[in-house]
Chains A and B, each alone.
Chain A
């Protein structure tokens, strides 16, 4: 699949915004039960404004993958059936609810209303992330994505982005939660790493359809594409088969793993074990996670193989190996003349 840059941008901004809010509000929520001291109001204001800007930027950026940006509001019309519609509704509602929560928090309004909107924003943020992940996971024609693993690691990456940035802000504002967030960063880095690996390993065990199934021909009949009807690429071959990306994938995936998980894990472990905490270590951890996540998203799209590629002979038979020499692989000899 062709990776849309605007959707990668949305993942990074919305992921950071929602991840950060989840941890920010969790601290406030735990204060209700006498756990922890909560956050100073000015920190909530600064982080809240950052979250608002990020979700706003994400929504604006995501509109660039639409043909008609001014009609984007119409995306709320099919909430009942479309995950994209649900994502649009939940993301918009998350931003609005976050704004109300911030206003109530800063005005010192009744805690009942404040926490009502806090919990609402929390839930809407999670639902927004879940809906975005479900757009991919519910697509049964891209088998690599069509799994609950996609949803789990998508949400874990939101938490990974949020926890690493929250660890940085804990140090920046001298909050008493630095140790907690270094641990949480480590935890979500490990979990996201594990589920991303599972996502990749799963691809090698997929039972993939064949061109014979696509064309409804007997399974043992050798078949190959002679002509695709046009001398150049068309929308289908460009959107569903990113040739340049496929060539670069084997290089990009290790770099994405390195930047997203391995290097940040070492940085967090270094900070945790040695107790050496400074702007550089925590800032770099988030930067690495951010840049790595962009590459990881890019890989996620390029790894996806749409079953319509079967009609063009561009569908892999197993793993990343593309269909080559299909006829030679078949042992059954077919003679149409008896």
Chain B
């Protein structure tokens, strides 16, 4: 069975919140909008977001690392939020595995959000219904859009190209490949939810330039401008390109 999902590369995510912003921008005006805001320009702005970016720090000082975790509905394959819904408003589509909420049937009892271990469902106080990421279902099937634009808004906007979208059950898909190649993992694997969204782990990259320092032409060298000019004109000058890369997963 197809399972559309997002794969997020934590190695390249810079935590710029562009995905969250563009998600809000698209979804507040599209088929599943609006995403209500309260006191947006005041001291305590609050609102509904399909996507939130959390930032964590691992390690102990001074050897710490910061990483950003964009978190939206994970479209679990065994979604615990679906069976608890008393009206059937919350449902999982068979054809693509996307979990959706039918706003016309939702009574706003909030029980689905109680049954989500990821906190990915938010109650809209203005519409009085539960809202969540739809994987931009109104974009990905829109045939009026060029094929390369039939992707969720967050994927299209990510400036670091940290987000991938596709069918994680299809061995031919890009998301399947990156999950396999880079050991994609899921959040809270012990909860038995079998999430669709995967994350690619951070890979620490260190560049050791000591060996190559003598080859590096620094700007304070009087020959710098001359060499650069020659390189630019004749493209014959070879700058050292080899780098020693050490990977620590």
User: Residues on A close to B: CB < 8 A?
Assistant: 1, 65-68, 71-72, 74-78, 81-85, 88, 135, 139-142, 209, 213-217, 221-236, 239-240, 306-309, 311-312, 327, 333-337
Contact = CB atoms under 8 A, between A and B. Distances in A.
Given A68-B128, A77-B87, A229-B55, 20 more contacts: A67-B106, A67-B109, A67-B129, A67-B130, A68-B129, A75-B107, A76-B86, A140-B80, A216-B187, A222-B58, A223-B58, A227-B54, A228-B55, A231-B45, A232-B45, A235-B48, A239-B110, A307-B117, A309-B119, A335-B63
Interface of B: 17, 20, 44-46, 48-49, 52-60, 63, 65-66, 69, 71, 80, 83-89, 105-111, 113-119, 122-123, 127-130, 185-191, 199, 204, 248
Given A234-B52, A335-B63, A308 B116 contact: yes
A227 to B, nearest CB: 4
Contacts of A240: 119
B54 A308 contact: no
17 contacts: A66-B107, A67-B108, A67-B123, A74-B107, A84-B109, A135-B111, A140-B80, A141-B191, A216-B187, A221-B58, A226-B55, A226-B66, A233-B46, A234-B49, A312-B54, A327-B60, A334-B63
Nearest to A74: B87
Contacts of B20: 229
B45 A229 contact: no
A75 B52 CA distance: 30
Contacts of B110: 65, 239
B8 to A, nearest CB: 13
A135 B109 CA distance: 12
Given A213-B190, A229-B54, A234-B46, A337 B107 contact: no
A174 B187 CA distance: 63
A120 to B, nearest CB: 23
A183 to B, nearest CB: 39
B105 A337 contact: no
Contacts of B45: 231-232
Contacts of A85: 86-87
Contact of A83 (B63, B84, B185): B84
A84 B123 contact: no
A214 B80 CA distance: 16
A215 B117 contact: no
A84 B108 CA distance: 12
A336 B59 contact: yes
B83 A81 contact: yes
Contacts of A311: 54, 69, 71, 118-119
